[in-house]
Each structure stands twice: as structure tokens, then as C-alpha cells.
Amino acid sequence: MTEFREAGDHAGAAAGPPRAITREITRSHYRSALTANAELIHQYWRIGRHILGHRLGDTRYDEVLARLATGLRAEYPWSRGYSRANLHHMTTFAAAWPEFVPQSLELIPWGHVVVLLDLLDDRPTREFYAMKAAHEGWTRSTLTMMIRSGLHLRPDHPLYDTGRTVPVEERDCVRDMLTDPYVTELLDAGERRGRDLEARLIDTVVTFLQDLRVGFAFAARRRRLSARGEEFVADLLFYHLALHRYVVVDLRTDGFAPEHADRLDLCVAAVDEQVRDRMRDEPTLGILLVASRDQIMVEYRLGAMISPLSVGPHTLPADLQAALPTPAELAGAIAPALRDDAREDDIQERIITEGPAGL
């Protein structure tokens, strides 16, 4: 067994993870924050340029900002970055640097940029403080204090003399990015969109299946199961009153992968073993729904076999076909839930209806 030790670390691995590893993890966090911060700064600059492009008068400008802020808050209710005041700062930002965003501004939080815009008027002085703040890792309060003290006017601090450079992991301004709400919102945006889409799909599927009035009774959402020593969650569990069997629905918003069908097979087998009453219930049925910008895929999985079968509507027994929606009907039902992520005509339906060879 390998034991990690560093010079001066007499307690060995029992004292905690090696400092070299924790430092690498910390650096990775900082690099991620810097990347997200740079994207945020460029996003705000692009929004500002878009507003400037309309060449609005003062009265019209205020009206447009107020209306835009209201619309963006409705579209992105979790975000605090699209207030009227912040949109005004974005516009001022784009006006101050109309051609491009200096690299030094990518290395400081948005709050620092706002300080530069509010307290200074000329571009060279703003860029001097941006570089100082970036290279020395100033906090926003330090940046404000340095500006108010007139650091750039001192003879020993000429413009563009950046002085010392503090390592990234020691910069207070980079640490601030890790908790900056604007940055964390951007980092979480993709995950949040995925959760929101999944929630819409779940609600849509529950409503659609129950409205069919062919026997679907809602049993559970996010049902925890275990099989082969592994714990997992079934997105939706129904009991079909006419078919006398459980139906497991597994939703995927990240595109199809073979392991998704394997996971559904485990869910079906677990329900068969742990939930199904073998004296009363028929073998459990699984439905895999894959919904993304590029495709909608529907696949049935029939359990209680050595290896669950992938079956289409034409290979299902007649009683199942009569009591279940077709893949096309399911795909059509969930398509509207994707409209917030892509236009309906961008969604290519890929419906799996064929069974495995030999069926």
C-alpha cells in the first residue's frame, strides 16, 4: 500500500490528503472560476454592445432598459445579473471599450469592473487599476481605496507599471470569484437548465399518461431502488390498472447512450423483485424517454426475462398495444416541453420501434 508523505508531514496519510493534491484541486477550482468569470465579462460586454447598437435617446434608453430588465427577470428568474442598474453598467462598459475587452478585465470580478466604471473616467487609468487589481489580487474594497488614494498619480507608480504578480491561488480577487453570485450563476446555469427541463418532462409525462384514461395510476416519483449492490432512482413509477403491471419511466435529457437502457433494465428488474406482487401483477414494463435538442427517442423494455427485451409497438402483445401509447404519441406529447430549449422545428424525432434481431 502506498503511503503519501511530504517533508514535514510526520503524521502521513492519516493526517489528511497530501498538500500537493489539495493545492492542485484548489488551482483547478480557481481556473474554473477564472474561465467562467471571463465568459461573464464578455457576455456583459456583448449585451452592452447590443443595447448601444440601437442608438437610443435618453428617454427611450431608460424605457428600453426597464423593459429589458423586466423581460430578462421573467426569462431567468434565478439570476440577479440582469437588473436595470446592471444593464446600464453593461452599456457603459461597452462604451468604455468599444473594440474589445482587455485581458486584465477578464481576470477581475464584475464588481471590480463596476468600481472602475463608477469612479474613473478615462480608459488608461481604468486599465492601470484593472491590471494592478488582477496581478496583485486586490479585493473590491482594496481597489476602491487605491483609486480614492490616487495611486496612479504617484511618481513611483506610472501607468502600465503592473508591479508584482501574485500567484493565482493567492489572489483575493480570484477567491472572491468562487463565491461571486454572478459567476456561480453562470457555472450553475447548465445544470439548472437540465434540472428545469427534466422537471418539465416529468410533469408532462405524468399529465399525458393519466389523461389517456387507459389505466395509468401514478405510483411514485423518484423512487429509490437497489439491484446488484447498486442504488439508483426510478424517475417515474406507474401502475397500469388494466394491464395489472407496474410501468417504470426513465427520462434522459443528455442524449442516448447504451448504458441508459442498461440502467432501465436494472430499474425494471428491481421493481419486479422488490415491488411487484407475483401473485397479482404481470411483469414490469419499462419506458425509456430520451429528449434533447437533437432527438426524441422512445423505447419499451419488457421485464421478467433473463435479459429484458427492447420492443416496439408491433412486437408487443396485442393487449399491451391497445393499452399503451405508441412511441410517436409519447414523442409528440413531450415535444412542447422542449420548446424553451429549442424551437419545435429543430427537434428531430428518432423513435425506436424495432426489436432486437430474431424477434
153 shares a domain with 200: no
CA distance 290 to 252: 5
pLDDT of residue 92: 95
From 22-36, 257-271, 278-292, 317-331, the region with the lowest mean pLDDT: 22-36
pLDDT of residue 280: 92
171 shares a domain with 224: no
Residue whose C-alpha cell reads 496583485 in the numeric block:
136
Residue 188 lies in a domain: no
pLDDT in tens, 208-246: 888 887 789 999 888 888 777 777 788 889 999 988 999
Residue 355 lies in a domain: no
pLDDT of residue 112: 92
pLDDT of residue 2: 41
From 33-37, 38-42, 57-61, 112-116, the region with the lowest mean pLDDT: 57-61
| Buried-state track 160-198, b at ≥16 Cβ within 10 A, e below 16 | eeeeeebebeebebbbbbbebebbebbbeeeeeeeeebb
205 shares a domain with 165: no
- What CATH number does residue 242 fall under? 3.40.1350.10
222 shares a domain with 146: no
CA quadruple 185, 186, 192, 197: dihedral positive or negative?
A: positive
| CA 228 to chain CA centroid, nearest Å | 30
pLDDT in tens, 124-181: 999 999 988 888 888 888 899 889 988 888 766 555 555 555 555 556 666 666 566 6
DSSP class of residue 122 equals S
Residue 281 lies in a domain: yes
160 shares a domain with 269: no
Nearest CA among 79, 326, 276 for reference residue 180: 79
Given a cut of 80, whether residue 348 has pLDDT beyond it is no
DSSP class of residue 151 equals G
Given a cut of 90, whether residue 123 has pLDDT beyond it is yes
Residue 146 lies in a domain: yes
110 shares a domain with 52: yes
Residue 359 lies in a domain: no
For the chain, how many helices (H) and strands (E)? 12, 6
286 shares a domain with 154: no
> At 89, is the pLDDT very low, low, confident or very high (cuts 50, 70, 90)?
very high
In this prediction, residues 237-264 reach a mean pLDDT of: 85
Given a cut of 60, whether residue 8 has pLDDT beyond it is no
Average model confidence (pLDDT) for the chain? 76
**Final residue belonging to a domain, choices 179, 205, 222:** 179
DSSP 3-state assignment of 50? Answer: helix
pLDDT of residue 13: 45
206 shares a domain with 169: no
Residue 2 lies in a domain: no
Percent of the chain with pLDDT over 70: 72
pLDDT of residue 293: 63
pLDDT of residue 317: 77
281 shares a domain with 204: yes
Q: What's the N-to-C CA distance of the chain in angstroms?
A: 51
pLDDT of residue 349: 36
**Final residue belonging to a domain, choices 152, 179, 206:** 179
The domain of 288 spans 193-346
**Final residue belonging to a domain, choices 120, 148, 179:** 179
Q: How far is CA 125 from CA 96, 105, 116, 134, 161, in A?
A: 12, 13, 9, 14, 11
Residue 298 lies in a domain: yes
pLDDT of residue 163: 54
pLDDT of residue 115: 95
Given a cut of 50, whether residue 254 has pLDDT beyond it is yes
Given a cut of 90, whether residue 46 has pLDDT beyond it is yes
288 shares a domain with 159: no
Instruction: Please give the tally of structural domains in the chain.
Output: 2
318 shares a domain with 234: yes
pLDDT of residue 311: 45
pLDDT in tens, 279-313: 999 999 998 888 776 678 888 887 644 334 444 44
CB-side neighbour CA atoms (13 Å) of 156: 0
Given a cut of 90, whether residue 95 has pLDDT beyond it is yes
Nearest CA among 295, 43, 32, 62 for reference residue 187: 32
pTM value? 0.51
Residue 261 lies in a domain: yes
86 shares a domain with 215: no
From 107-111, 170-174, 260-264, 290-294, the region with the lowest mean pLDDT: 170-174
